[in-house]
């Protein structure tokens, strides 16, 4: 009976991750078609591949997520809590920031690792085959790379206490930023991208430079690891297009 319960939980989480991807990427792709008609013209075969790889990644993400969800509900294995008063209220935003910082750190180092020549050819090349990336590319990963992304949040819930609502917000931010950073145009205003906040936050402008140069700009949410390690290559030529509110396709 336990085995069937775990299998059901895994299948349910796989469906949730897959549907979340389809809804979010679909919404951003629709916004792109409305905002920048023709930006994805001719990329239909690429987008089909992106969707296929992404749905395969959703199945991989669903395994640890489903096991952790089952363990939390049945045995209380994790540090996820539901009573908002279990910790001081100030801990809610602190835990949110802690998860984003830890996730960003994991992503930076695993992403940079994936750019080693052998690993790039074996796995990460799947993601970089999206030239230019589209809103459907956020989860377009080789299974090996998908595993590195699938284990981080399930691992953190065993270590760092977090309210279930804050965990939901972490997942929402992860999804929106992952899709938004790949869609080929800048959704944030110029004042943010080029202002003080933009020096530390990653947006499409920053990540597009990574896809154009195939190096540097390895972070997910924040630029501090790139700055500390000398891998921040700036905003690239896409910054000029973003200033004019033009699409990024010309950057390759």
Tokens for 241, please give them. Answer: 């297009």
Q: How far apart are CA 55 and CA 77, in angstroms?
A: 28
Beta-bridge partners for 139 = none
Mean pLDDT of 165-191: 94
Residue 133, phi then psi, degrees to nearest 5: -65, 150
Q: What is the pLDDT of residues 14-40, one digit of tens each?
A: 999 999 999 999 999 999 999 999 999
Q: How far apart are CA 228 and CA 226, in angstroms?
A: 6
Mean pLDDT of 52-73: 97
Average predicted confidence (pLDDT) for the chain = 92
| 217 touches 232 (CB < 8 A) | yes
List the beta strands (DSSP E) in 89-138: none
Beta-bridge partners for 80 = 162
Instruction: Output the pLDDT for position 246.
Output: 44
Instruction: Output the pLDDT for position 2.
Output: 85
CB-based contacts of 192: which residues, under 8 Å, 6+ apart? Answer: 198, 201, 203
Band (pLDDT 50/70/90 cuts) for residue 251 is: very low
Band (pLDDT 50/70/90 cuts) for residue 101 is: very high
Instruction: Output the pLDDT for position 237.
Output: 60
Buried b (16+ CB within 10 A) or exposed e, 185-204: bbbbeeeebbeeebeebbbb
Q: How far apart are CA 18 and CA 119, in angstroms?
A: 26
Domain that holds residue 148: 2-251
The answer to whether residue 238 scores a pLDDT higher than 80 is: no
Instruction: Identify which has the larger pLDDT, 74 or 56.
Output: 56
Number of domains in the chain: 1
Instruction: Output the pLDDT for position 236.
Output: 72
Band (pLDDT 50/70/90 cuts) for residue 131 is: confident
CB-neighbour burial class of residue 53 (10 A; exposed 0-12, middle 13-18, buried 19+): buried
Distances (CA, A) of 192 to 75, 167, 174, 178, 188: 44, 26, 19, 18, 7
Mean pLDDT of 100-111: 98
Percent pLDDT > 70 in the chain is 93
């Amino acid at each position: 009976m336990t085995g069937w319960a775990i299998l059901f939980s895994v299948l349910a989480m796989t469906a949730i991750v897959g549907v979340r991807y389809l809804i979010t990427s679909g919404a951003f792709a629709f916004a792109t078609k409305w905002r920048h008609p023709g930006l994805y013209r001719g990329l239909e075969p690429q987008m089909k591949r992106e969707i296929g790889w992404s749905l395969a990644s959703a199945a991989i993400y669903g395994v640890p997520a489903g096991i952790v969800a089952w363990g939390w509900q049945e045995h209380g294995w994790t540090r996820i809590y539901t009573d908002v008063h279990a910790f001081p209220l100030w801990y809610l935003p602190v835990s949110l920031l802690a998860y984003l910082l830890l996730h960003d750190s994991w992503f930076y180092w695993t992403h940079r690792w994936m750019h080693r020549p052998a690993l790039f050819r074996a796995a990460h090349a799947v993601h970089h085959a999206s030239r230019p990336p589209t809103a459907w590319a956020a989860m377009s990963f080789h299974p090996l790379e998908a595993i590195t992304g699938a284990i981080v949040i399930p691992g953190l819930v065993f270590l760092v206490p977090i309210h279930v609502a804050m965990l939901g917000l972490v997942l929402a931010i992860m999804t929106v930023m992952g899709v938004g950073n790949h869609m080929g145009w800048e959704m944030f205003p110029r004042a943010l991208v080029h202002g003080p906040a933009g020096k530390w936050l990653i947006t499409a402008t920053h990540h597009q430079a990574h896809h154009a140069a195939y190096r540097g700009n390895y972070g997910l949410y924040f630029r501090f690891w790139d700055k500390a390690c000398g891998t921040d290559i700036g905003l690239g030529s896409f910054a000029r297009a973003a200033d004019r509110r033009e699409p990024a396709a010309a950057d390759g």
